[in-house]
Amino acid sequence: MNTPVAKILVISSLILVLTFLGLFIFSFGRPAPTAKDAERYIADLKGKNMRLRWAAAMSLGELKERSAVPALVDALSDPRREVRIHAATALGKIGDPSSTSALTQALKDQDKGVRIASAWALGSLRDKAALPALAVALFDQEVEVRWNSAAALGQLQDPGAVEYLTKALEDKEEVRWNAAVALGKIKDKTALSALLKSLNDPDEGVRMYAAWALAQIGDRSAVPDLIKALSDEQKEVRQNSAAALGMLGDGLAIPTLKDVAHNDRDREVREVAQESLNKLEVAAGSTVIIR
């Protein structure tokens, strides 16, 4: 059975992948690049053929060719958006922090696709020097840029991002999803109040991710609110709340978890509640099996 944490990570990753799917469709049938081709691809980046330039950028990213970083940085100024997008994505795949400055500048590109790719790339680099630029991009006019920036800030795992991400919990639902997940990755207790409020968000996805994030932070002051969330109308919220209570390890949740393990209308919720109940009971010195 998939765990609530795994589901969140899969969903978050899927959103990022779908952003670039349309650009990669042209690569089908193309031979896989090899290291010996790197010099030719670097040369192609400077050529007149636009398709060769973006294909070269994509291939260098697949190769994770570090010697190509200067050329890819230059390609961030290419007149064609397709090339700039693939150059930013390639730099994210290569993961060389020397490209951080250029990518932060690319967050100001007039094309939203370039800004999306640059935000994703900066998250992949995990260079905390990108925090100020990503914090600004978190309030970009385009929602896709904002939720990619939220995801990237989570990748940095820098507590300095918390104040911006908590504000993003008031944005559109897609941004709120990634902001909650990002706060869970950062694991800073100053986010507790905002995440507890998000347990009552009108969107079920936000409530689900908030429960997961509270478990990652690990502060038992969240237990009463998570117990209440076991009555949520959506099973995914109840499931993540039950899992979170098991992780937090507070016996206060035992009576409610017993009831959920026995009576919840959804089998997966009952199973997760039983798993969490067993964790708490083992910690207390006994195990309760619901029959």
Q: Please classify residue 152 by burial: count the beta carbons closer than 10 Å to its beta carbon, then call 0-12 exposed, 13-18 middle and 19+ buried.
A: buried
Three-state SS string over the chain comes to: CCCHHHHHHHHHHHHHHHHHHHHHHHHCCCCCCCHHHHHHHHHHCCCCCHHHHHHHHHHHHHHCCHHHHHHHHHHCCCCCHHHHHHHHHHHHHHCCHHHHHHHHHHCCCCCHHHHHHHHHHHHHHCCHHHHHHHHHHCCCCCHHHHHHHHHHHHHHCCHHHHHHHHHHCCCCHHHHHHHHHHHHHHCCHHHHHHHHHHCCCCCHHHHHHHHHHHHHHCCHHHHHHHHHHCCCCCHHHHHHHHHHHHHHCCHHHHHHHHHHHHHCCCHHHHHHHHHHHHHHHHHHCCCCCCC
pLDDT reported for residue 2: 43
pLDDT reported for residue 284: 72
Confidence of residue 34 (pLDDT cuts 50, 70, 90): low
234-255 average pLDDT score:
96
In angstroms, rounded to a whole number, what is the distance separating the alpha carbons of residues 41 and 259? 62
- Amino acid letter for position 271: E
The full set of domain ranges for the chain reads: 218-291
What is the topology classification, in CATH, of domain 218-291?
Leucine-rich Repeat Variant (1.25.10)
What is the pTM assigned to this prediction? 0.86
pLDDT reported for residue 49: 94
What whole-number percentage of the chain has pLDDT above 90? 83
121-134 average pLDDT score:
98
